[in-house]
Amino acid sequence: MGGGGCTRLGVHHARLIEEVSSGRVRILTQETQKGKHSAALAKAKPNPMINGHQDWLDGLVCGGRV
């Protein structure tokens, strides 16, 4: 705390998990990032946010197969 706007990382995630035909699900995700650090993070290669989201999705798939 106390870092002010220049060090703040504002991130909001929304997820919609919807059952579709044949026992499948559709996952829609949306993300908003704000702040100086978010801008730098968005340019990073490899992108840690994209990789983190993929890890989350891969975990869901593994859990669904159990």
Question: What is the token pair recorded at 17?
Answer: 């998990």
Q: Angle 37-10-8 (CA atoms, 0-180°, nearest 5)?
A: 55
**Strand-strand pairing, 25-34 and 10-19:** antiparallel
Phi then psi for residue 9, to 5 deg, are -120, 110
- Asked whether residue 1 carries a pLDDT value surpassing 70, the answer given is no
Q: What is the pLDDT of residues 23-36, one digit of tens each?
A: 888 999 888 888 88
Q: Quote the percentage of the chain above a pLDDT of 70.
A: 88
- pLDDT tens for residues 29-59? 888 888 888 888 888 899 888 898 899 989 9
Is residue 56 within 8 Å of residue 27, measured between CB atoms? no
pTM of the model: 0.64
